[in-house]
Structure 1
Amino acid sequence: MAPDSDKPDPLIQMAETIKQITEKPGVYIMKDESGQVIYVGKAINLRKRVASYFQRQDTHSAKTALMVTRVADIETVVTASEKEALILESSLIKRHRPRFNVVLKDDKRYPSIRINVKAAYPKIEIVRKTPKDGAVYFGPFTSAHGVRQTVKMINKTFPLRKCSDRSMGHRTRPCIHYQMKQCLAPCCLDVNADDYKAIVKEVILFLKGRTPELIKRIQRQMQKAAERLDFEMAAALRDRMQALEKTLERQVTVTTDFLDRDVIGISGNIDFRVLSVMTLRRGFLQGIRHFEMTQVPSEPAELVAQFLGQYYEKVHDIPIEVLVPILPDNAALMEETLSEWKGRRVKIRQPIKGEKRRLLEMAQTNAANTLREKIQRISQDADILEGLKRRLHMDRLPQRIECFDNSNLAGTHPVAAMVVFEHGRPYKNGYRRFSIRTVAAPDDYATMAEVLTRRFKKINAANPEPDLLLVDGGKGQLGIAISVLTDLGLSGQFSVAGIAKKDVQRGETDDKIYLPNRANPVNLGRDGRLLLLLQQIRDEAHRFAITFQRKTRGRAMVGSQLDCIAGVGPKRKALLLKHFGGIKKIRAATAQEISELPGITVSLAQAIKQALT
């Protein structure tokens, strides 16, 4: 067949597109034939930068060459300066998550410490989100346990309030923390706001890593208290100083200049890289975060540039120095942008020798170790999946496993849950909950049939079919699953199995795995990891279903208890739940506290207390 002479040459079209692009600074957005954004970049001269992709393509890396072959359209956004282009580039990458860009995943939020300095009496909070709301944030920290221990130590050492903003306005007497001298009780007592904020400043100094300076400051306060014969205050300050000295002994000093800096190490190749950020504050190592990246830019300078822009845009505590294994593209521009975000000069350095080089090598070693552990873990997971494929007689690896479980309490509030494991690991974005609609009486088989029908009647990109469907139950539940799939025309499209608990009375030692058209359980061999993975998936489905069932039952109980009280309608019920946060807290409140809410009289408050006791 002769080629279609009317169809324009894509290279000629692209050349014409490039001619129309301005030479001003801005951002360029590359799209494929389907209109999907595949790459976002910035440039001081948009036309020259875009043209460079299509000139001398033989010098491109394999990844860049592949990207160029898929570009069907290019859009540009002109900005007033290259700095604005840098910020816009980071924003567009987070929005579109292009395949050929470095994209920092936000699916795991690390904990941070928050102090709302705008409040009259601030408190310490552990949060996962860090909006720019005027509060002071520290972190994020890699260890949730470490953050909790730090907050616990602060609450013992510094007498800040522990109660929530809601309960603080309704307390009538100090709590036990006041009796233990761990709180000044601003909720009930007249506490000088300036004295309280002085303690808050000490906490901020501690969290900034300036513990030696804080110890000297408390020591001076202790001496002044002793001179004016305020021995009780002097003793409290002495205890605070000793607690800080013990904390200082446990911290690891890694630099002698005691500056705030981050050190970045990179290990891996274009297909898979680990980037580690080592956080040092006042010379003390606070923690290390690791980022896993696939299909990243082959040029390390481009990788570092894209990472710095995305990482520090959402980090409140920007250091004054960042050490990198290779300077990013437009290092001066990046320094200027980071300095503007921090409010003071920030330097980006590639150390060659000395103490800073030792820090960089430490970060590189951490990245290499994390990469090796990740590869070993992937290899082990692949071995387990290969073993399951062989033992369950599957035609493909069970890379996506879905498991279903039902839950009810004596037949009431029936629910079901689905959990998803991908590559042997939980994929929580794929989890689903089901409120049962068609089954009134307790019937596990009918419930399973409804849930599987709702799940598999529509399979698409958002709900792909699994490689293995696992149902919690024996031959009966397995038979229901096969029947539903047959009715939906999905029989044979993926593997199905049932997992049943062992019968101790019969002397069984392991849970049993059943396959269709097979009377006896499957022998999984000597590799205990195979059964362990299936048990882990089943237990996760069980946990997820029971948690949902408890929440459903709890909501129903709350509704029934409040609905039966004369004078409490939907608006007052919503007001009570919103203010107190739950039925337990309403029950614990006094009638006086309940009557302080708008629209609730003293007599109605007493009726609510009587109904809930």
Structure 2
Amino acid sequence: MPPKPVIADNPVDPGLIEEAARLPHQPGVYIFKATDGEVLYVGKAVDLKNRVNSYFRSGQGATVKTRALVARAGHLEYMVTATEKEALLLESSLIKRHRPRYNVVLRDDKNYPALRIDPREEYPRLTVVRRFERDGALYFGPYHSAHSLRETLKILNRAFPLRQCKGKKPPPRQRPCLNYSMGLCLGVCAGKADKEDYRRIVDEVILFLQGKADRLQAQLKERMESAAASLRFEEAALCRDRLRAIEEVLERQHIISDRFNNQDAIGIFREAGETAVVVLFVRHGALVGQRRYRLGDLPGDTPEILSGFIQQFYSKEHLIPDEILVPQPVAHRDVLEEWLRDQRGRRVPVRPVRRGTGKSLLELAHRNAKEFLKSERNDSEKTERILSQCCDLFGLPRKPHRMACVDVSNIQGRHAVGSVVIFVDGRPHPLDYRRYTVKRKATPDDPNMMAEIVERFLEEERDQVSRLDLFVVDGGKSQLNRIRRLFVERGLETGLPLIAFAKEREKDLGGEGRGFYEKVYLPGRRNPIFLTARPEVLHLLQRLRDEAHRHAVTFYQKRHRRDLVASTLDAVPGIGPKRRRLLLLHFGSVEAIQQADVDALAAVPGIPRPLAASILEHLSRLEERTEKPPAFGDTESQSEES
């Protein structure tokens, strides 16, 4: 048998070269697959035959990643398209579906917050969103920091008193809400707001968020002077307060461009088989934030990587800017710009910049990418050290790169829920979090409640279980022994290591007093392991446990509020079992009733109009007492109740 062809000292499957030789000279998408069928790489080409065969002519000039890709590939597939643009769209779809290890795959699934306002509503309001949709509303952002967005929103609400109640229409009230009394709302819910005044405030907010603060300041100053001259001192004071609030927001912004347009500057840094990319967001001339990605070692040169990154980054729900700045020309630039124009609705140039403010911005992005990669390497080395300590300390067969932790939340057994959270390489992986409602127990019994959660997780998430390196139980010996019996029943006692992590009282050193100590219990071991001498391992387990606790508690609060709201229907005068059943059958849920207006409720047979208004008023008051806004950073894509 003749030896396999060699490319840069790596053997290549001869069948792969034969398949590449049969490719047509047409645009399309090609897929490198391993012998077991795993998708390794998805690429697009104007000429499939020329592009794919270039992999086998690279010789010593090929990158390490390209040589590894070709050496590992055992099969080649392709799909012909009519145009290069169609190839780009198909490539993007396949990358999202298969997430190949040699492609640019953005694994940061966090959606950064933005402000949304819909001018078409009768009384528009500002809301914080993490998904951008083509629904006719106006979106402003994204903001890299949820804290900075909250501070900005707080100032805007103080200066521009738009309504803050939920829903497209404010729920009717006999008395206005607390925000009205504090001067933060015009009292729309109680019919105290003038539509023209409200619309003028909406226009001012939009003008400010669009970066036209100078025009808005001139208008407010003119109105203030006019009101003062006409002895309308209250109106003049309002204009003065808004001017001060605008100045306060502007002082927080870092103005870096006098063009006052929207730009994204992409910086890239490659070193020692690693690639880091940083995107700086400039909105109306102000630097508002950044996003950072560690992409690893990728095949191809920098223009190809930049092209693939832009394609992946803007295929999500990102707000596409007026222009995208890049450090050097990107591959397939014309196709990318055509695709971006289709996404945004108008032209979006992708241009390299070599001088001026744009160059300074790109240099800043490059420096941030370099520092980010350095920081990530240091974090990776530290994580590997901590995982090695876990392996030695707990006698694990391998490093716990993927860990799970289970916790339950209830009060005297009521509304009991549980959660399972996943950490990958010491970091939360929210997409794999799971929440469950305890169904078998209604009395306090943490070990058996936890066993129910774990049993359902093992049954429903077999793929996740097979990839786990360590399972952590939040509790002591009783929880550990109960989950261990479950593992034995499932045949997992040897395949999946199990530990329990507990905070328990223990005599202090010297035998005086009692303090709380963190302990780890291992199956089959009588005495626990104290982690006082291993602070890094202790900190990792604490973060894992606290995240499981937070996830369970937030689900408990959500479920408890929902049940509390449902029961309040019975407290509304005039609502009995029959009318409650009619409302729930008509709307489907209490949440839908809350979002309805008086006319919709009155349309239900047996619900007169005064009763409809009374229902909405009761639900609104309950929502004010019980609802707490979720913390910024909470992931919306987590699994709901199983």
Fold match by TM threshold 0.5:
yes
Identify the residue that residue 502 of structure 1 maps to in structure 2: 504
Identify the residue that residue 204 of structure 1 maps to in structure 2: 206
Mapping of residues 199-238 of structure 1, within 5 Å:
199-223=201-225, 225=227, 232-238=234-240
- Give the Cα–Cα distance (whole angstroms) in 1 for the partners of residues 473 and 317 of structure 2: 43
Report how far residue 229 of structure 1 moved: 6.3
Residue in structure 1 matching 2:263, options 261, 264, 267: 261
* 1:16/1:354 CA distance change after superposition, 3 Å: closer
Mapping of residues 188-337 of structure 1, within 5 Å:
188-189=191-192, 191-192=194-195, 196-223=198-225, 225=227, 232-269=234-271, 271-314=273-316, 317-337=319-339
Identify the residue that residue 88 of structure 2 maps to in structure 1: 86
Identify the residue that residue 545 of structure 1 maps to in structure 2: 552
SS of the aligned residue for 1:464 comes to helix
* Native 8 Å contact 1:28 1:75 kept in 2: yes
Report how far residue 10 of structure 1 moved: 6.5
Q: Which segment drifts farther, 110-119 or 453-462?
A: 453-462
Residue in structure 2 matching 1:568, options 571, 579, 583: 579
Report how far residue 258 of structure 1 moved: 4.0
Residue in structure 1 matching 2:370, options 368, 371, 374: 368
Identify the residue that residue 164 of structure 2 maps to in structure 1: 162
- Give the Cα–Cα distance (whole angstroms) in 1 for the partners of residues 241 and 364 of structure 2: 36
* 1:462/1:206 CA distance change after superposition, 3 Å: same
Aligned-residue CA RMSD in angstroms?
A: 3.9
Mapping of residues 445-464 of structure 1, within 5 Å:
445-456=447-458, 460-464=462-466
Supply the AA of the counterpart residue of 2:551.
F
Supply the AA of the counterpart residue of 1:329.
A
Residue in structure 1 matching 2:76, options 60, 70, 73: 73
Identify the residue that residue 601 of structure 1 maps to in structure 2: 607
* 1:610/1:98 CA distance change after superposition, 3 Å: closer
- Give the Cα–Cα distance (whole angstroms) in 2 for the partners of residues 26 and 163 of structure 1: 51
Tell me the alpha carbon deviations over residues 542-583 of structure 1, each in whole angstroms, 9 at most, x when there is no partner: 33334444555555555566589331354413557746568x
* Native 8 Å contact 1:33 1:73 kept in 2: no
- Give the Cα–Cα distance (whole angstroms) in 2 for the partners of residues 475 and 577 of structure 1: 44
* Native 8 Å contact 2:276 2:292 kept in 1: yes
Mapping of residues 399-438 of structure 1, within 5 Å:
399-438=401-440
Tell me the alpha carbon deviations over residues 290-339 of structure 1, each in whole angstroms, 9 at most, x when there is no partner: 12323434411111111122323446643344322222113344344445
* 1:565/1:456 CA distance change after superposition, 3 Å: same
Residue in structure 2 matching 1:121, options 120, 123, 128: 123
SS of the aligned residue for 2:105 comes to coil
* Native 8 Å contact 1:270 1:294 kept in 2: no
SS of the aligned residue for 2:240 comes to helix
* Native 8 Å contact 2:602 2:612 kept in 1: no
* Native 8 Å contact 1:474 1:499 kept in 2: yes
- Give the Cα–Cα distance (whole angstroms) in 2 for the partners of residues 186 and 409 of structure 1: 39
Identify the residue that residue 143 of structure 1 maps to in structure 2: 145
User: Please, which runs of 5 or more residues in structure 2 have no aligned partner?
Assistant: 4-11, 508-512, 623-642
- Give the Cα–Cα distance (whole angstroms) in 2 for the partners of residues 216 and 428 of structure 1: 46
Identify the residue that residue 19 of structure 1 maps to in structure 2: 22
Identify the residue that residue 520 of structure 1 maps to in structure 2: 527
Report how far residue 389 of structure 1 moved: 1.9
* 1:313/1:13 CA distance change after superposition, 3 Å: closer
Identify the residue that residue 110 of structure 2 maps to in structure 1: 108
* 1:88/1:122 CA distance change after superposition, 3 Å: farther
Higher relative contact order (CA 8 A, sep 6+): 2
- Give the Cα–Cα distance (whole angstroms) in 2 for the partners of residues 49 and 217 of structure 1: 58
* Native 8 Å contact 1:261 1:279 kept in 2: yes
* 1:191/1:24 CA distance change after superposition, 3 Å: farther
* 1:420/1:597 CA distance change after superposition, 3 Å: same
Identify the residue that residue 629 of structure 2 maps to in structure 1: none
Report how far residue 369 of structure 1 moved: 1.9
Tell me the alpha carbon deviations over residues 448-504 of structure 1, each in whole angstroms, 9 at most, x when there is no partner: 444444444688433325322322333333333333333333333343322332226
* Native 8 Å contact 2:337 2:349 kept in 1: yes
Identify the residue that residue 6 of structure 1 maps to in structure 2: none
- Give the Cα–Cα distance (whole angstroms) in 2 for the partners of residues 380 and 72 of structure 1: 38
Tell me the alpha carbon deviations over residues 256-291 of structure 1, each in whole angstroms, 9 at most, x when there is no partner: 444432221112447443211112233321212212
SS of the aligned residue for 1:294 comes to coil
Count of residue pairs the alignment pairs up = 600
Report how far residue 130 of structure 1 moved: 0.5
Report how far residue 152 of structure 1 moved: 1.7
* 1:476/1:92 CA distance change after superposition, 3 Å: closer
* Native 8 Å contact 1:270 1:296 kept in 2: no
Question: Does structure 1 residue 384 correspond to structure 2 residue 386?
Answer: yes
* Native 8 Å contact 1:157 1:243 kept in 2: yes
* Percentage of matched positions with identical amino acids: 38
SS of the aligned residue for 1:567 comes to helix
Question: Does structure 1 residue 529 correspond to structure 2 residue 536?
Answer: yes
Report how far residue 58 of structure 1 moved: 4.9
